[in-house]
Amino acid sequence: MTLPDKLFIDGTWRKSATSRTTKLVNPATEEVFAEVEAADISDVNMAVESAHRAWEGGWRDMTPGKRTEILFNVARTLREHIDELGQLEMLQIGKPISDARDEAGLGARCFEYYAGAVTKFYGQTVPVSRGGFDFTLRQSMGVVAAIVPWNFPFPIAAWKVAPALAAGNCVVLKPASLSPLTALKLGELAHAAGLPSGVLQVLPGSGGAIGDALVTHPLVRKVSFTGSTEIGRRIMELASRDIKRVSLELGGKSPNIVFADADWERAAETSPMSVFANTGQDCCARSRVFVERSIFERFVEKFVSATKKLVVGDPAKTDTQLGPMVSASQRGSVEDFLADARKRGSKFICGGVRPHPKGYYLEPTVLLDVGKEDRCWKEEIFGPVVAITPFDDEAQMLREVNSSPYGLSGSIWTNNLSRAIRVSRAVQSGVLSVNCHSSLHVEAPFGGFKQSGLGRDLGMAAMEGYTEVKNVYVAE
Ligand code: NAD
Ligand code: MN
């Protein structure tokens, strides 16, 4: 397998304008395994201009049928490369290989969904009061900048690129500096599958170096960002100058609410993976667990025994559930949270230590007695750490749930239908699951309330977000 190591611009590999490179470290071995060129501001300009030419030169006006055909070809090609995409993802971020393959499949599924959506994406006819004929068009915007994080590099890239292209835009994709390989592969495979040159460009490199240039480029009409709330805020500020469209998928501190009337044993057995999957590096991680007091102790016992059964280790093994964290600094930042929890007197029920001498591993950690003002309760940890707390009163618990500035995801466990509906309405989050822990469906809108984001990925909502609505009135 040859690893991509350059920029993908205008349908071909290009050297960076600088001699800067990023060394990629395998998080499981701590060894450098690749070096990828890092884009510079002049590369940003070249990529955006080439994307704009591709948009004006044909992609914008291509018939829906043809666009569908090309996007289906992309999906098929991605499916043929699931093993390779999975390997690359595993190498660059330490994701367990079974998850990495599943996520490659999810990326392909996005292209299938949006390939089909092209011909089912309607405007409206509007019965305006003065008569005549009024209709709306959904038109593409032009160049979209898609900026994505390192925790789900391939699927998040796919779920931005596919709807943006389906809606008729061209895309400049900027992967996180830790995870350029699957994004570059996406550019290469999509082009091989028939996507015209320039329609999708991929710029590896650091956000600090090229982020501002990309976001403020006058030909970029929309910035679709997934990452931290801090960088999201900065992007929104920069975009405000030219009133650029932005969509932001940001951090979370999601609740997992377990009522005594639920199948709480199943909740306890499945909840560890709702926070520890991807070694806790998941924006939807259910990192605050609220358990009704009458079942609290039994729940914690089961939760901990399920946690201890999780297989932590070599991401190349198919039965591994938790790989290493992505980097030494990400693990360090989680260990700072743990040090704070120790200082504040939280109870460590399990985990909190490094299980292997090599690799950025960290044992999944269960905390009790975390104070409501403590960092571990309030901030997104982005690592394998959960805080479990008892509650007595539904209304009071909901106030605590909603006191977070975040509002991305969450789970509700109850067998009482009215309560399920009432609590679903009350929790201020964009994506909830009842009696399970799934946040994500390609077909359904995904995104956050409050400081967890703005706009929606996935489903037809994403497609709408990559278009402008035009109203046309024809006199009779
Ligand atoms: P990050 O904000 O550090 O980086 C995200 C991307 O932004 C990267 O590609 C980075 O290079 C780029 N970037 C950095 N500085 C930039 C700048 N000044 N201008 C433009 N781009 C810049 O996030 P991360 O560390 O890669 O990912 C972790 C964060 O992402 C967590 O907070 C997590 O909750 C969030 N996340 C959210 C979702 C969601 O859908 N809501 C999904 C996954 C991750
Ligand atoms: Mn970061």
Helical spans, DSSP H, in 379-458: 394-402, 417-426
> Could you identify the atom of ligand 1 that is nearest to the CA of residue 446?
40
Residue 241 DSSP symbol: T
Any ligand 1 atom below 6 A from CB of 380: yes
Which token pair is 381?
Answer: 């940890």
Interatomic CA distance for residues 381 and 70, integer angstroms: 40
Interatomic CA distance for residues 13 and 437, integer angstroms: 40
Q: What single letter denotes the amino acid at residue 100? A: A
Any ligand 1 atom below 6 A from CB of 149: yes
Among candidate residues 344, 328, 262, 248, the one with its CA nearest the CA of residue 295: 262
Any ligand 1 atom below 6 A from CB of 453: yes
Interatomic CA distance for residues 237 and 212, integer angstroms: 11
Which ligand sits closest to the CA of 233? 1
Q: Tell me the per-residue pLDDT of 61-89, one tens digit each, with 9 for 90 and over.
A: 999 999 999 999 999 999 999 999 999 99
The reported pLDDT for the residue numbered 441 is 97
Interatomic CA distance for residues 352 and 363, integer angstroms: 6
The reported pLDDT for the residue numbered 452 is 98
Any ligand 1 atom below 6 A from CB of 458: no
Which token pair is 97?
Answer: 């290989």
Catalytic residues: 249, 283
Interatomic CA distance for residues 414 and 432, integer angstroms: 13
Collapsed DSSP state (helix, strand, coil) of residue 469: strand
DSSP for 244-288, please give it.
-EEEEE-----EEEE-TTS-HHHHHHHHHHHHHGGGG--TT---E
Q: Tell me the per-residue pLDDT of 291-319, one tens digit each, with 9 for 90 and over.
A: 999 999 999 999 999 999 999 999 999 99
Q: How large is the angle between the packed helices 97-117 and 82-93, nearest 10 degrees?
A: 130
Long-range contacts of residues 62-66, Cβ cutoff 8 Å, at least 24 apart = 62/168, 64/118, 64/119, 65/119
Would you give the distance in Å from CA 138 to the centre of its chain? 26
Residue range 432-460: mean pLDDT, rounded = 97
Interatomic CA distance for residues 69 and 131, integer angstroms: 38
Q: Tell me the per-residue pLDDT of 130-180, one tens digit each, with 9 for 90 and over.
A: 999 999 999 999 999 999 999 999 999 999 999 999 999 999 999 999 999
Which neighbouring-strand residues pair with 135?
Answer: 125, 472
Angle (CA) 124-128-132 rounded to 5° is 95
Which token pair is 422?
Answer: 């009432």
Nearest residue by C-alpha to atom 17 in ligand 1: 211
- Asked if residues 221 and 55 have their Cβ atoms less than 8 Å apart, the reply is no
Which token pair is 411?
Answer: 């789970």
Q: Tell me the per-residue pLDDT of 1-60, one tens digit each, with 9 for 90 and over.
A: 789 999 999 999 999 998 899 999 999 999 999 999 999 999 999 999 999 999 999 999
The reported pLDDT for the residue numbered 439 is 87
Give me the residue label for tokens 């091989």: 192
**Residue 222: is its pLDDT beyond 90?**
yes
The reported pLDDT for the residue numbered 2 is 87
Any ligand 1 atom below 6 A from CB of 147: yes
Percent of the chain with pLDDT over 70: 100
Beta pairing class for 245-249 and 255-258: unpaired
State in Å: Cα 447 to ligand 2 middle.
Answer: 19
Percent of the chain with pLDDT over 90: 99
Pick from 172, 231, 442, 458 the residue to mutate for probing ligand 1's pocket: most ligand atoms within 8 Å of its CB: 231
| This prediction's pTM | 0.98
Nearest residue by C-alpha to atom 36 in ligand 1: 227
